[in-house]
Amino acid sequence: MAGLACAVYLARAGKQVSLLESANVAGGRCRSYFDKTLGCRIDNGNHILLSGNKAAIDYLSVIGAAHTLSGPDRAEFSFYDLDTATRWTLRPNRGRFPWWMMQKNRRVPGTRATDYLRGFRLAWAGPDQTVAEVLGGEGALYRRFWEPFALAVLNTALEEASASLLWPVVRETFGRGEQAYRPRIAREGLSESFVDPALAFLAGRNAEVRLGCRVRELAYSDYRVSAVVLADETVAVGPEDRVVLAVPPPVCAELVPGLDVPTQHRAILNAHFRVGISVDEPALLGLVGGALSQWVFLRRDVASVTISAADHLNDRPADEIGTAIWAEIARPLGMERDPIPPFRIVKEKRATFAQTPEQIARRATTRTGRKNLFLAGDWTDTGFPATIEGAIISGKKAADAVISLSEIP
């Protein structure tokens, strides 16, 4: 997303762009593919956005794909507590002032209006404070609202996740009122929303896109990148050329000697079940109190479960995980526990970097010590968590930096 967004904004500004991608398909962690086990297309991971994700919405508008997201025309989140078999829907009021918190029947069950004030503490969180520390780490609101939300955003256990990194998201979404936190899901798939339209946009502006083209090395001379080394060719970087690296942190560290990057990652596990009953519009269900499942996404006839900060499951066999997840979600979905529908477990071991205070301090800036080299990626220092929104912000920042540099006489 970072590389694509950067390319899109540069091409829109009239720059000649070459995009080099090591995989045979574009999209990185944000793409769809045909899964042979299930016999249908799925996303490599469930992705949710909120209507207040300004950078992502702007990117989709530029590539002509804003209409490909689906979601309710007001903020609405359904939840199920697996511990108590309780179901509720969070339906905030329209407008900016959150008076829904004052009404018992609109609040998260078991919470008081004053509990919600604690969220403001995030605004003053110190750089070393964790989410659990700032938000208290217990109570109904924490368990039934903050935990599912913050874990999905930060993909890091809340006892170690940075509180100050959560605040920009809260400010940009909950802080701007109901219209800024309506859930949004790609209607067809991530590639159909975020990738294919971007590739079409780039093709329409004569950008060169080379897939299956891994950058092996960068050559430097005089504090500049002088060449990009590929498998069977070395591309010279001329005085007017700029290089933007939008690769994961370990690759970036290899290509840019001396650069500090985050070194720890956290996993996300997705379990996709082909349930055989189709929904017309994609839907979302938050689960609390379970041993495993956190969110269920329903799209067409696939129910996909997301488990963030899932490193503890990396070595557990897929069959065992799928069986345990189905045992949790069959009831809330109103389906039979037996037989288990066909499923696919996808473990992304390096789903995002670990968003702890210590790792955040290692995020790199857009500009580097080399005059013509810029960095992008959800792990760079955007001030936002590692999400689609963060990746797009980083890509746009890099494009702006390239454009402003080329405007210097």
Ligand X SMILES: Cc1cc2nc3c(=O)[nH]c(=O)nc-3n(C[C@H](O)[C@H](O)[C@H](O)COP(=O)(O)OP(=O)(O)OC[C@H]3O[C@@H](n4cnc5c(N)ncnc54)[C@H](O)[C@@H]3O)c2cc1C
> Of the two residues 101 and 268, which places its CB atom closer to ligand X in the complex?
268
Residue 107 or 184 with smaller CB distance to ligand X: 184
Which residue number, 255 or 330, has a Cβ lying nearer to ligand X? 255
Question: Smallest gap, in angstroms, from Cβ of residue 155 to ligand X?
Answer: 7
The b/e string for 39-70 (b: 16+ C-beta within 10 A; e otherwise) is eebbbbbbbbbbbbbebbbebbebbebeebbb
Q: Which of 204, 22, 129 is nearest to 137 (CA)?
A: 129
Q: State the minimum distance, in angstroms, from the CB of residue 130 to ligand X.
A: 21
Site membership for ligand X, residue 28 (CB under 6 A): yes
Show Cβ contacts of residue 344 under 8 Å, excluding neighbours closer than 6 positions: 35, 37, 38, 42, 271, 272
Which three-class secondary structure state does DSSP give residue 235?
Answer: strand
Q: Does 47 bind ligand X (CB under 6 A)?
A: yes
* Given 38, 40, 209, 251, the residue binding ligand X (CB under 6 A): 251
Residue 268 makes contact with ligand X by CB under 6 A: yes
Beta carbons of 375 and 368 less than 8 angstroms apart? yes
227 forms bridges with which residues in the sheet?
A: 219, 236
What's the rounded Cα separation, in Å, for the pair 87 and 286?
Answer: 10
Choose one: 46-54, 76-84, 112-120, 354-362; the region binding ligand X (CB under 6 A).
46-54
Please say which residue, 101 or 288, places its beta carbon nearer to ligand X: 288
Give the x/- contact pattern for ligand X in 213-232, rule: CB under 6 A. Answer: -xx-----------------
**In the complex with ligand X, which residue's Cβ is closer, 115 or 147?**
147
The answer to whether 71 contacts ligand X (rule: CB under 6 A) is no
Q: Which of 248, 264, 370, 403 binds ligand X (CB under 6 A)?
A: 248
246 binds ligand X (CB under 6 A): yes
| Element at 243 (helix H, strand E) | strand 243-245
The C-alpha atoms of residue 217 and residue 182 are separated, in whole angstroms, by 43
> In the complex, what is the shortest distance from the CB of residue 250 to ligand X, in angstroms, rounded to a whole number?
9
Q: Is 386 in the site for ligand X (CB under 6 A)?
A: yes
Q: Which stretch binds ligand X (CB under 6 A): 83-91, 103-111, 330-338, 345-353?
A: 345-353
| Minimum distance, C-beta of residue 191 to ligand X, in the bound complex (Å) | 12
The one among 2, 218, 303, 329 contacting ligand X by CB under 6 A: 2
**Closer to ligand X by Cβ: residue 173 or 352:** 352
How far is residue 30 from each of residues 2, 13, 124, 195, measured CA to CA in Å?
Answer: 10, 24, 32, 8
Q: Does the footprint of ligand X cover residue 391 (CB under 6 A)?
A: yes
Q: Does 378 bind ligand X (CB under 6 A)?
A: yes
* Site size with ligand X, rule: CB under 6 A: 32
Query: Quick check: 259 binds ligand X (CB under 6 A)?
Result: no
- The string of DSSP codes covering 258-318 is T------EEEEEEEEEE-S---SS-EEEEEES-SS--EEEEETTEEEEEESS-GGGTTS-H
51 binds ligand X (CB under 6 A): no
Nearest to 134 by CA among 172, 96, 105, 162: 162
> By three-state DSSP, how is residue 46 classified?
coil
Nearest to ligand X of 101, 364 (CB atom): 364
Nearer CB in complex with ligand X: 101/346 = 346
Other beta carbons within 10 angstroms of residue 402's beta carbon come to 22
8-state DSSP, 342:
P
* Chain contacts with ligand X (rule: CB under 6 A): 1-3, 20-23, 28-30, 45, 47-49, 214-215, 246-248, 251, 268, 270, 348, 351-352, 377-378, 386-389, 391
